[in-house]
Amino acid sequence: MLNWLSKLFKNEEQPELSTPKNAHAAFILKHKKLTIGYLNHSNGIWEFKYSDEFKKQNRIDVLIDFPKKELKYEESYLWPFFSHRIPGLGQPKIQEIIKHEHLNPNNEIDLLRRFGQRSITNPFELALTT
């Protein structure tokens, strides 16, 4: 259902993004000094889980895409919370960065690593750990 909704509201200028099944990546999501959770990709599956530190605190609410602190979430696609950190690739400045840094414009990991650290839609920071 979420995949269908994502396609419904997809910006047609944005190319179809994907991640090679054999690609591995590990990201950490933080808010100031608090580790919120971990986003990993391996064998074609994205995984998100909250940190133990986040589970013990009550100041920051759970993320809308991940409503239960104790679960490990797995999907074959990147959740909107993270995919929305990738800017519209049709922007000339973004195209220039992609070309200059030799990024694959269809690879979610490359784009998330380069553009996803900060977002104007939330205060969290995302960093590649591997």
Q: What is the pLDDT of residues 57-107, one digit of tens each?
A: 999 999 999 999 999 999 999 999 999 999 888 889 999 999 999 998 889
At residue 99, the 3 state secondary structure works out as helix
Provide the b/e sequence for 28-48 (b: ≥16 CB within 10 Å): bbbeeeeebbbbbbeeeebeb
Mean pLDDT over residues 21-28, rounded?
A: 90
Amino acid identity of residue 121, one-letter, is: T
117-130 pLDDT, tens per residue? 998 888 999 998 86
How many domains in the chain?
1
Residue 3: pLDDT over 60: no
Global model pTM greater than 0.85: no
Residue 13 domain boundaries:
2-128
